[in-house]
Amino acid sequence: MYQLTYHSVAVPSLVPGDLDDILEESRTRNALRDVTGCLIYHNKRFVQILEGGKIDVLRIYGKIIGDRRHHKVTLLWEGPVNRRYFEEWNMAFYRIDNGSNVNEDEQTFRHNMRLLSDFSDKSTSSMLSFWATVRKLLGGS
């Protein structure tokens, strides 16, 4: 099982309909390749985790890098893992808005998002704890 996390910046012209398109495409294509994961959209930034067979994950990531709906695609972590983190989802989606009424998990998440861009510690454990928070926000265990 191979896992990859990157972050990127949405182009200024991105509209909500683009997000729907991206998700629909992702879910269909990932299902065909047995790839799972999660896409986060916050403050015009994306963070995505892809997990599955190495060849499939890298092939999809190759497409994503060239996608004109975002830029500054930066690889944060990639490597083999023992199990999937988002096995129930071909592409879970989490969008967080800038409201003031947020719970503690969301605050942690936002804090992590801010740190993510200049993560100095790109270890497996820091990545996995980031995604564990996201999974909790999505209502998983």
Ligand X SMILES: Cc1cc2nc3c(=O)[nH]c(=O)nc-3n(C[C@H](O)[C@H](O)[C@H](O)COP(=O)(O)O)c2cc1C
Q: Which residues bind ligand X (CB under 6 A)?
A: 22, 25-26, 29-30, 39, 46, 48, 50, 60, 63-64, 67, 69-70, 91
- Cα separation, 141 vs 138, in Å, equals 9
For the chain, strand residue ranges (E) read 2-10, 36-42, 45-52, 70-80, 92-95
Q: Which residue, 47 or 127, has its beta carbon nearer to ligand X? A: 47
CB of 25 to ligand X, least distance (A): 5
Q: Which residue, 63 or 136, has its beta carbon nearer to ligand X? A: 63
Integer distance in angstroms from the first to the last C-alpha of the chain? 20
Strand partners, 49: 5, 38
Q: Which residue, 50 or 76, has its beta carbon nearer to ligand X? A: 50
130 Rama class: left (phi>0) / alpha (psi -120 to 50) / beta: alpha
CB of 101 to ligand X, least distance (A): 27
CB of 33 to ligand X, least distance (A): 8
CB of 59 to ligand X, least distance (A): 9
